[in-house]
Structure 1
Amino acid sequence: MKRSGLTEKRILHAALALFVKNGYHGTSINDITKEVGLTKGALYAHFQNKGELLLKIIDEFRIEYIEKMIKTVDAHPGNAIDKLNCAISFSSRFALENPDLCLFLTFLTTELNTDVDFEPALKSVYRDYQKFISELIRDGIRQGLINPGLDPELAALTFMAIHDGVLHQWALNRDRIDGEKYVKTFRFIFVKGLMAQEQEEGGAAS
């Protein structure tokens, strides 16, 4: 059977939505085929099993979110704080435009972090994410903008934890949350907490 890129995208989109809604283990191949309107045979012509679908979605997250965020932030002018703010802006836009893909790892990491089939792929994505944010923080320390007493690796993990928590609460309360104000609150709390003391004092005086 001829493989169709459009059909593969439909399958991935349906699987992603179901994984976010019901969890990976709570979603069956039958659920996915029913959602897409395909037979099992037609789905298996594109993907060998449910696990291959999940790994493809993880890779899609890496390409569409991590790699594009890095490219966008690297091209953004300014110092490390400017670039961190760019990363936050990119993340907020991505969440609005790709809610399921953005929530995907946030919702499924707990379920899958001990699964030997998927743990390496999940950890690899998060390592790339942490490495990039920690390098921005190191740059900020070298530039005298960020508190030198902070551990860049731990600060990056804190950024990721807050970011995931923000996404989770946004998903639960989006009907009553002002998204723009929510992002501004996240931005203020995290970036303000990173600032070197002299930067805070200078900001207060200006």
Structure 2
Amino acid sequence: MCARRIVDQELSRDRILEEARVLFVTRGYDTLTMRSIAKALGYSHGALYYHFRDKAELFYALVVEDFNYLLSRQKEMLDRAESCGIENLKEIMLEFVRFGMENPHHYEIMFSVRDGELRKYSRTKQAQCMEMFATVVRGVFANGELTPGQLYSMPWILFMSLHGFISYSIHYYQSYEEVESLAMEHVEFLCRNIAAG
């Protein structure tokens, strides 16, 4: 049996990503090395190189995986919707809050990385996610309730409000179940105020 096959059986790409995600969030990108990630997994650092060329490639794989997961959840919701209305917007906003709070390490890598060098890995995927959200917001208010300027800024205003809610809750280790009713009120408040103009 070749060495590659043995390593694949012992240490899967998914297991590496799962462990590395937690390590990147808790220890920080700069302090980690491929050796320290491998040590946390109980393997030699050489085992990681079968899957990833370097630490940057490993980090980028996390970003892509996490955004693809969020985007697929949003697309499923949109595909089930019969029309693009305020209820769909509320549902997507709540799903975003749920995603962030149920996957705090994913969320922090996707949206809360402070290092400018690392943000470049997530910009494209963030833009795709934001464009999908903006499309829903614009679809809901396409009837002329908002000015063109508001149609551009509203998705950003809503996102920042949701991001603040999620980041605060993650910081204080709150679960989605603990704040679900508050999240629903928050989303209702935002949508009600948009509709009121």
Query: Smaller-chain TM-score range?
Result: 0.7 to 0.9
Higher mean C-alpha displacement, 43-52 vs 30-39 = 30-39
Q: What is the Cα deviation at residue 78 of structure 1?
A: 4.2
Q: 1:56 to 1:130 in 2, by over 3 A?
A: same
Q: What is the Cα deviation at residue 196 of structure 1?
A: 4.2
TM-score (norm 1): 0.80
Matched residue, 2:54: 49
1:153-194 per-residue CA deviation (whole Å, 9 max, x = no partner) reads 321122222222222111122359832123123202321232
1:130 matches 2:130: yes
Q: What is the Cα deviation at residue 151 of structure 1?
A: 2.3
The answer (yes or no) to whether the contact 1:131–1:153 under 8 Å persists in 2 is no
Q: 1:126 to 1:176 in 2, by over 3 A?
A: closer
Measure the CA separation in 1 of the matches of 2:129 and 2:35: 33
TM-score (norm 2): 0.83
Measure the CA separation in 2 of the matches of 1:41 and 1:134: 43
Q: 2:171 is aligned with what amino acid?
A: L
Q: 1:107 to 1:27 in 2, by over 3 A?
A: farther
Matched residue, 1:201: none
Q: Which fold has the larger relative contact order, with Cα–Cα distance below 8 Å and residues 6 or more apart in sequence?
A: 2
Matched residue, 1:192: 192
Q: 2:12 is aligned with what amino acid?
A: T
The answer (yes or no) to whether the contact 2:84–2:140 under 8 Å persists in 1 is yes
**Deviation above 6 Å: which 4+ runs of structure 1?**
none
* Structure 1 SS opposite 2:141: helix
**Alignment: residue pair count:** 191
Q: Could you tell me the percent identity over the aligned residues?
A: 19
1:4 matches 2:8: yes
* Structure 1: gaps spanning 5 or more residues: 198-206
Spell out the pairing of 1:1-206 with structure 2 (5 A cutoff).
1-2=4-5, 4=8, 7-108=12-113, 110-111=114-115, 114-115=116-117, 119=120, 121-143=121-143, 146-148=145-147, 151-175=150-174, 178-197=178-197
1:33-88 per-residue CA deviation (whole Å, 9 max, x = no partner) reads 12211111111111111101111011102210023212322322344211111212
The answer (yes or no) to whether the contact 1:74–1:83 under 8 Å persists in 2 is no
Q: What is the Cα-based RMSD across aligned positions, in Å?
A: 2.5
Measure the CA separation in 2 of the matches of 1:47 and 1:38: 14
* Structure 1 SS opposite 2:29: coil
